[in-house]
Amino acid sequence: SGMSYGIRSLAIRRIEHGCAIINNGRGWQIYHMSSPGDYGMSSSISGHIKGIIGSNRISYNWAGVRRRVCRKLTAISSRTPQHHFDTFGSSNPDAISAYRSGNACVDVNVELFETAITWYTKAIELDPLFTQAWVGRAIAEFKLRQFDQSCKDFSQALTVNGDDAIRYEALMGRAALHGARNDLARAVQDLSDALELRPNCVCALLKRSAVYLAQNDLEKALSDANKAEMIEPRSLAVSCQLGRVYSAEGNHGRAIRECSMAVATVPDQGFPEPFIARAAALLNDERASEALPDCDEAVRRNGGVNAFVQRGKVYKSLELWARAIADFTEALKLNPFDPDILTERACCYDKAGKHDLAVYGHVQALKIREDATGESRTEPFHLTNSTSDPFSERIPHSRNHNDLYI
């Protein structure tokens, strides 16, 4: 996600995706990765690790404890049973092996997703109650835009196991699917059900806030963002979402101030989201020239799809059509099936006098929308683009670097 500190990759690699150490802009914390791309606290795992490290919060002064924590994590990983993190309830070793093979395919690139589905299917055949295999297959199907089958598998995962952690993961995944299909009411329902399981989950609160914002329900969007702020005061994710809501309300000055406070806390590398959020607020305030440096910084920080899209919108506002087209094209290389980006580029082609390309782009976008929803819709909402991709940790090739943010 653009972080250059090394400790996060060490933690994830050595503890088999059981936990990660993440900087939220104010200090380093241990998080349990309850689902791909989602970081929520887990009392059992984080408590075990914190008990060994000896602190509820590792430290605000990271430099002073980094070496000690590395040693502790190495010790923890060597004596923590492997199955505690990656068997997810299955007692069938062949099913577990097939599931891990599926994960290995997903971790490479999209070309192996079909192979991943084959492995997940084998795991399910060997153990029909292996809920993580259902979820894994649903994620791969989602990324291949096999939406109907993906929805069935997420729903099956909710049916075959009553474990709250698995239910939460499936609900968050299905919410992203509903967002991609522009079914915002169902996305809200799944996120609300996820919050019933984890009332203090900032990730779910901010995702629901983003959906409410897409529905133009600003009161509920602000309410969820404020709840998230009460749980994690002044976190980067919360500040960015508050900035978006304030900007949608027309309170651009407050939105810019909120995002600026987040910008002031970020390290020198990574964390592009506050810059993207502030650029959006500046653009909404008709200050496109001032937004451009933030966009450049977000691109420099490997902001991925969202950074290129935001800079493309700024160039579009400045009527720099060629530069806007170039940025939208870069975004489409990372996410070729986003109809909104195709539409933005098509509009720029039209303004640049390239009418054939404009028509082709609009037709592509319309076809993608119809394939996703079964009918023609305008301005669909994409939970996985407007917010953090819940599957981005499993899908490196399409990472939009918003793992920690809404």
| Segments making up each domain of the chain, as ranges | 7-86, 93-162, 169-398
Q: Give the burial string for 307-323 (b: 16+ CB within 10 Å, else e).
A: bbbbbbbbbbbeebbeb
Structure tokens belonging to residue 272:
């592009």
Q: What is the pLDDT of residue 397?
A: 29
Rounded-to-integer distance, Cα 38 and Cα 390, Å: 6
Q: Give the burial string for 197-224 (b: 16+ CB within 10 Å, else e).
A: ebeebbbbbbbbbbbbbbeebeebbbbb
DSSP 98-113: HHHHHHHHHTT-GGGH
Q: What is the pLDDT of residue 110?
A: 66
Q: What is the pLDDT of residue 4?
A: 32
Is it true that 93-162 and 169-398 share their CATH fold?
yes
Residue 403 corresponds to which amino acid? D
Query: Which residues share a beta bridge with 20?
Result: 31
For the structural domain made of 93-162, what CATH number should be given? Answer: 1.25.40.10
pLDDT tens for the chain, 406 residues: list them: 333 333 333 333 233 334 444 444 444 444 433 333 333 333 344 444 444 444 433 333 333 444 444 444 444 444 433 333 344 568 899 999 999 999 888 876 667 889 999 999 999 999 999 999 999 999 999 989 899 999 999 999 999 876 888 899 999 999 999 998 889 999 999 999 999 999 999 999 999 999 999 999 999 999 999 999 999 988 899 999 999 999 999 999 999 999 999 999 898 888 999 999 999 999 999 999 999 999 999 999 999 999 999 999 999 999 999 999 999 999 999 989 899 999 999 999 999 999 999 999 999 999 988 877 654 333 444 444 344 443 333 332 232 323 222 2
Q: What is the DSSP letter of 379?
A: S
By C-alpha distance, which of 406, 404, 358, 364 is closest to 383?
406
By C-alpha distance, which of 337, 343, 336 is closest to 312?
343
In angstroms, the Cα distances linking 248 to 254, 311, 365 are 11, 19, 25
> Are 15 and 46 a contacting pair, CB within 8 Å?
no
Rounded-to-integer distance, Cα 216 and Cα 106, Å: 35
β-pairing verdict for 19-23 and 38-40 = unpaired
Rounded-to-integer distance, Cα 75 and Cα 183, Å: 46
Rounded-to-integer distance, Cα 30 and Cα 23, Å: 9
> Are 401 and 303 a contacting pair, CB within 8 Å?
yes
For the structural domain made of 169-398, what CATH number should be given? Answer: 1.25.40.10
CB atoms within 10 A of CB 181: 23
Q: What is the pLDDT of residue 373?
A: 62
